[in-house]
Structure 1
Amino acid sequence: MAAGAALLALSIAPLSFAAPPTFSKEEQRLRKAVDDAEMCFHFAGEFNGDGSARDKEVARQQRKHCGKESQQLVLQAYRKNPQDVRLYPAVLRLDGLMPGLTLPAAEKARLCAVAKTELACP
C-alpha cells in the first residue's frame, strides 16, 4: 500500500511545477524584467531592517532587481496585452511593491486564478 502511494506521489509531483514562461528572441528584455520582478519580490521579503551584513546584501540585490525601468516594462506589456498569462506572476508580485500599483480586487482575483502565485495570491 505504501509503495502504491509513493508511486502516485511521484507521478503527480512533476505536474505541480509550472514550466517557466517562454519568450521569443525579441522579447529577452521583457523576459529579464519578468525575472527581475520575481527577484525583487523575493528580496523584499528578506529585508530585516537591522543594518546587518545580510541586510546590506539584500539592499544590493534590490537595487539590482527592483529597477523602475524594468517594472515599467512589465506593466506596459501587461497594459498592452492584459491576456498575456506570462506576465501575470510578475504583475502580481509587483502589486504593492511598485509605487502607484495596486491592482483592483477583481483584477487580482482574475490573475491569481490563472497564475496561482502562492505568495502573491490569497
Structure 2
Amino acid sequence: MKLMFTIAGAALLSAASLSFAAEPARFSKDEKALQKAISDTEMCFHFAGEFNGDGSARDKEINRMQRKHCNKAGQQLLQKAYRANPQDARLYPAVLMLNSLTTEFLSKAEVARLCAASKTELVCP
C-alpha cells in the first residue's frame, strides 16, 4: 500500500515538473533549414562530448555521426541567422554550443548576455 502511494506521488511530481518545462522553440515552415541547422549543432555538440580519441568502435561511430551533423553549411546558416537577428532567443543555446565547438566568434560580453537569457547550463558558467 505504501509503495502505491510512493509511485503515485512520484508520478504526480513528474507530471507537475513537466508542466513547468520550457516550451520548445517554434519555427515557421520557411525556417526548416534553420531548424535543422540548430538540431545538427546540438547533435554535433553532444557527440563532441562523447569522443574518447582511443580509436575504439564507439569513436568510429561518433566520427560518423559528427560527419553527419557537424557540417559547415548549417553552422554558417546559424551564424548568419544570429548576426541578422541577435535578439532571437530561439537561437541562443545553439549559438552558444557552436561558439564552443568552433573558433569562438562571440565576444565575452555576448556570451554573458546569451547565457543570462538562455540559462544553457551545458555551455554557460
Scaled to the shorter chain, the TM-score interval is 0.7 to 0.9
Structure 1 residue 111 and structure 2 residue 114: aligned? yes
Distance 1:8 1:109, change over 3 A: farther
Across the aligned residues of Structure 1 and Structure 2, the Cα RMSD in angstroms comes to 2.0
Alignment of 1:31-46 (within 5 A): 31-46=35-50
Relative to the length of structure 2, the TM-score reads: 0.85
Tell me which structure has the larger Cα radius of gyration.
Answer: 2
Alpha-carbon distance in 2 for matches of 1:110, 1:67: 26
Q: Any stretches of 5+ residues in structure 2 without a counterpart?
A: 1-5
Q: Determine whether 1:30 maps to 2:34.
A: yes
Distance across 2 between alignment mates of 1:105 and 1:23: 28
Deviations 1:1-40 (A, max 9, x none): xx8x969955751255322211000100000000011001
Q: Would you identify which runs of 4 or more consecutive aligned residues in structure 1 move more than 6 Å?
A: 5-8
Aligned match of 2:85 in 66, 81, 85?
81
Q: State the number of aligned residues.
A: 119
Unaligned runs of 5+ in 1: none
Please report the TM-score for the alignment, with normalisation by the length of structure 1. Answer: 0.87
Alpha-carbon distance in structure 1 between the residues aligned to 2:109 and 2:51: 30
